[in-house]
Structure formats: structure tokens, C-alpha cells
Amino acid sequence: MATTSFLLPSPPHPATLRRLATPLVGPIHRSSSFLRRLPLPTPSLRKSRPCPTVVCAVASSSPLHALIFDCDGVILESEHLHRQAYNDAFAHFNVRCPPFSSGPLYWDVEFYDELQNQVGGGKPKMRWYFGKNGWPISSVFETPPSTDSDREKLVDVLQDWKTERYKEIIKSGTVEPRPGVLRLMDEAKGAGIKLAVCSAATKSSVILCLENLIGLDRFKGLDCFLAGDDVKEKKPDPSIYITAAKKLGVESKNCLVVEDSVIGLQAATGAGMSCIVTYTSSTANQDFGDAIAKYPDLSGVRLEDLKILLQNTLVAS
């Protein structure tokens, strides 16, 4: 019977084993003698190669950690809606200022554009106007209120009614967010950038606007939401943005604010934040020299544009 030893390979020669253990460097050749002549890479060459992972990490870093939106004028072009609600309130309570006026107080477009760009917040607007033009007669007080408490009561009654009227307008379904706002919010959220809304308006009216215009999911996904009720001083005081930075846990220099008026711009820069402006028809002629950029709307603005803007601003400063 034939043996099967001829089927088993012979053990490799020790010299062959040594050749197999030699690292293969460079292109593969059939000649084993050529492989033996190839030099091994020196440690200095291996150390001189840059690490692509580290380079990518540095290139992808961004100073933009939080994007903060104003509401009125930024998320929605709302000033004409507020003006309508104020005039409806003046008519409802028969507010006459000065008292000898033949009809209810009426703020026209030209005057309201000037007023809303000088005084932030609804109650401060009325206090300023009545303080300058005389306190009115109305169905709330038949004679002009003379005490601080009565004056505050009048302002509160008018503001509360005006707010409810404004809500009715928003709920009508005829109001749309300004171009580019929702996309930019979604881009920021998707990139892990914190998102906030800071408005000088009353909290109830801002909540209503956000729920109806950006949707419940985006509203609940905000990392911070502040309204005029949450701070003692209104814009242009920087309190609301300083408070937002603390709540977000972000340094002011890493925040970028989106505003529509010089009052909001002053509040943002006063808090040490960079600000871009998306102006409206009523604010287009204001001096936005302290803004790092200004746009008619956000339709052509991308998140990467804002990252570059903030990066260049911080480098320049």
C-alpha cells in the first residue's frame, strides 16, 4: 500500500522564514531578492507624517455656540399687527389724548414706525406717549388719571386688551413667518448649536406667535425662551441677552443674535454679543453700523455663512 507522505509539504527552510518575516515596504515585486534589499522606514519618517484626524477636528471647529432670535420683526413682520391692535384698544376704550380730541387716539404708520424704533415694549410705549402728550380720558377713567397707581391701571387695562386683540389676529391663520427663519432654525438645531428666542413683548403674546408660526415641536425644542416679563429692563437694555447667555451656559462672544431694529442691536452689543440684522420696511433706514451683517430677510442666509461671519469678527477683534 502506497504511503501518503508525498502529499505533505516539506517544512520551510529557516532562511525562507526569515524572508517572510521581513516587512514589505513599497510596491510588490515578484523578486524575493529585491524585497530583501528594500530599506525599512526610519522612525523619523514615520513621525513626520501629519495626523489627518487632528487637522479635520481643528478645521471643523466653530465659535458659534448659540443662535438667538428676536421675535417681532425677525420671526414675523409684526409691527403693523401691533399697531392695529393698539388702535383697536384705543377705540374700544375711547381713549382721547389730548382730552379735547374729537376722536379716539390713532397711531398712524409713520408715527408708529418712529415710536417702535425708540421705545421697546408695549407699556413703556404708552407711558412715554401719555407722559409727553398728557394722560387721556377714557372709559376706564372719565378724567385724566393723576396718581401713579391710576396711571398704571390704565396702562395695564389697555395693554391686556391689546394683547388679546393681537392674539386674535395671530390665530386668524393669515400670518406667516419671515423667509428663511424656519430653515435657519432647523440648520442650527441639526448642527448641535443652541437655539433661543428673546423678545421684549409680553410672554403670552410671544408664546402664541411661536406656537402658531414656528410650530409646537420647534418651540418645545428651544434651549431658552425669554420675554419682556422675564427681565426688569426692556431693550435696548442688554438684560434679556445677558440672562439668555447665563441660561444657555454659553459665553457672550459665542452667541450670535438676529435682530431687526437698532434697539435690538444695541441690546445685543451691550451684552457683548455679535448681531446680524434682518431689517423690515419700517427699520430699513436705521443706522446698523454695529451689526456684523444686514439682510432684507434670511432667505439666502445659511448657517455656514453665520459661522464664517462670527469667526472673522472674533479674529478681527
Phi/psi for 211 (5° steps) reads -60, -35
> Beta partners for 275?
257
Between CA 251 and CA 229 the distance in angstroms is: 23
Burial of 166 (0-12, 13-18, 19+ CB in 10 A): buried
Output the CA torsion sign for 222, 227, 232, 233.
Answer: positive
CA 250-66-68 angle, to 5 degrees, is 115
Q: How many CB atoms lie within 10 A of CB 82?
A: 23
70 is catalytic: yes
Question: Helix, strand or coil for residue 232?
Answer: coil
Active site residue 160: no
State the Cα–Cα distance between residues 65 and 188, nearest whole angstrom: 9
Determine contact, residues 78/281, Cβ cutoff 8 Å: no
3-state secondary structure of 240: helix
Q: In the chain, where does DSSP find H-type helix? A: 14-21, 32-37, 43-48, 52-60, 79-92, 109-116, 122-133, 148-171, 181-190, 203-213, 216-220, 239-248, 262-270, 303-316
Cα 290 from Cα 197, distance rounded (Å): 21
> Annotated active-site positions, please?
70, 72
